[in-house]
Amino acid sequence: MRWIEVEPAGPLNGCVHIPGSKNSSLALLAAASLADGLVTLEGIPNIDDVKLIGQIGKDIGLTVTRRPSGEIVLDPRYIHSAIIDPGKASAYRASYYFAGALLAKFGRVTVGFPGGDNFVSRPIDQHMKAFQALGATVEFREDHYILEAKTLHGADIYFDTVTSGATINAMLAAVRAQGRTNLYHAAVDPEVVDTAAFLNGLGARIYGAGTDRIRIEGVPYLNGGRHTVIPDRLIAGAFLMSAGITGGSVTVKDVIPEHLGACIAKLREAGLEMEWDENSITARSTGQIRATRVRATMYPGFATDLQQPMTALLTQAKGKSIVTERVYPNRFNHVPQLRRMGAEIEVRGESAFIQGGRPLVGDWVHATDVRAGTCLVLAGLVAEGCTRITGVEHLERGYEDVIGSFRALGAKLSLHERETEQQDGRAAGMA
């Protein structure tokens, strides 16, 4: 059993350098399978999901090497298999990108059903719809699915809902399809734009990424190349919120402020002073958090991955706040954990109603996903006494060094481990 202990340490102050985007990195690493030469990626975070891709790469013949400088070199020239082990695929959700990346090259791909964070319902129907439109057949088995297509042909694909994952996957499959593909109602997330920029650097012909209509002209092959991943806007947003909840001042560096426009606006509305320049953002507490309403939606709206840490921040606002989740309506697993700490929150449908201003008290709590873990860390920073967070593996999926990063700002965090049978009885019944 491992857990993180968080103790209150007063206002957080200082600077944090933001690593490369986890979500973009996972797409780029799979997309490299499309290339016919060496690919070098800079800024890829050293997190568990990335390490798992290295294991998957080893299985299929994709060589993934991290150099001492931190950059990752991928050699897709000797990929000999398009079978992604179901056990490894179920360990993280972005395994589905290998379907789009390998389908055009091999004509048949086997991928285990995606896992990762548990938000109850994260369907892949839009991915399958795109593959079928391009000419693939889909066969579902107990723990995996099989895609097959002798040749992929360009098509007009109309997404029923805005989905970043399916937009990226459709791009991957269409890049080496014959003819033109048009994606309508496409996601406009920075991660979509980053993936398109990477592929275009290899010789793809993708136009309109960042708008709701993307055009892809298929090409017969892709060269190798070099690309730097965009900064992680979600980690940056959480650190900005840490300034508000603790009453401090935090600067995030190596970011693209445009990617955090909705977050900046909402934190201002909640009472923080916000300043930014070309590649940094500073959040300063004014001493009071204001209650507000937040609606998590697709980019450029307020990110669903930030609603959980935002909920922790709003527990400190006097008055009633409402957080509505429009992307994953059941993404409220963090709420029972905050209640254990004394928060007054009621979930009705896709909204959480927060009666703020109640003091939080440290307790044993459990992180069910990356952002829920971040939420509990923020809550622990202002809770009375010690907060112990289990589910550490989820935080490690998204952060290279969550403890070191928060410590650099003055927080008191520490990692602990002991045999499961010796665990505290309270921890055993916390879920």
Catalogue the active-site residues: 117
Query: Does 330 show up as a binding residue in the annotation?
Result: no
Output the six-digit token pair for 54: 């290295």
CA-to-CA distance for 290 and 140, rounded, in angstroms? 49
Does an H or E element contain 181, and which? strand 180-184
CA-to-CA distance for 38 and 77, rounded, in angstroms? 8
Query: Does 327 show up as a binding residue in the annotation?
Result: yes
Work out the angle between the directed axes of helices 370-382 and 304-314 (0-180°, nearest 10). Answer: 20
Q: Are 340 and 380 in contact (CB under 8 A)?
A: no
CA-to-CA distance for 77 and 84, rounded, in angstroms? 17
CA 139 to chain CA centroid, Å, is 28
Identity of the amino acid at 422 = Q
Taking the chain, what is the end-to-end CA distance rounded to the nearest angstrom?
A: 14
CA-to-CA distance for 225 and 41, rounded, in angstroms? 9
Please provide residue 94's backbone torsions phi and psi, each rounded to the nearest 5 degrees. Answer: -70, 5
Q: Are 330 and 308 in contact (CB under 8 A)?
A: no
Query: Does 305 show up as a binding residue in the annotation?
Result: yes
Report the candidate in 139, 136, 133 with the shortest Cα–Cα distance to residue 159.
Answer: 133
Output the six-digit token pair for 237: 């947003």
Query: Does 22 show up as a binding residue in the annotation?
Result: yes
Query: Does 39 show up as a binding residue in the annotation?
Result: no
Query: Does 233 show up as a binding residue in the annotation?
Result: no
Query: Does 365 show up as a binding residue in the annotation?
Result: no
Rg (CA), the chain: 22
Query: Does 36 show up as a binding residue in the annotation?
Result: no
Rounded to the nearest 10 degrees, how much is the dihedral formed by the CA atoms of 188, 191, 195, 196? 20
Output the six-digit token pair for 149: 């297509």
Q: Are 24 and 230 in contact (CB under 8 A)?
A: yes
Phi-psi category of residue 20: left, alpha or beta, with phi > 0 → left and psi -120 to 50 → alpha: beta
Query: Does 58 show up as a binding residue in the annotation?
Result: no
Q: Are 262 and 234 in contact (CB under 8 A)?
A: no
324 strand-pairing partners:
295, 351
CA-to-CA distance for 213 and 250, rounded, in angstroms? 37
Query: Does 124 show up as a binding residue in the annotation?
Result: yes
Output the six-digit token pair for 282: 């500073």
From the annotation, which residues make up the binding site? 22-23, 93, 122-126, 305, 327
From the annotation, which residues make up the binding site for UDP-N-acetyl-alpha-D-glucosamine? 93, 122-126, 305, 327
From the annotation, which residues make up the binding site for phosphoenolpyruvate? 22-23
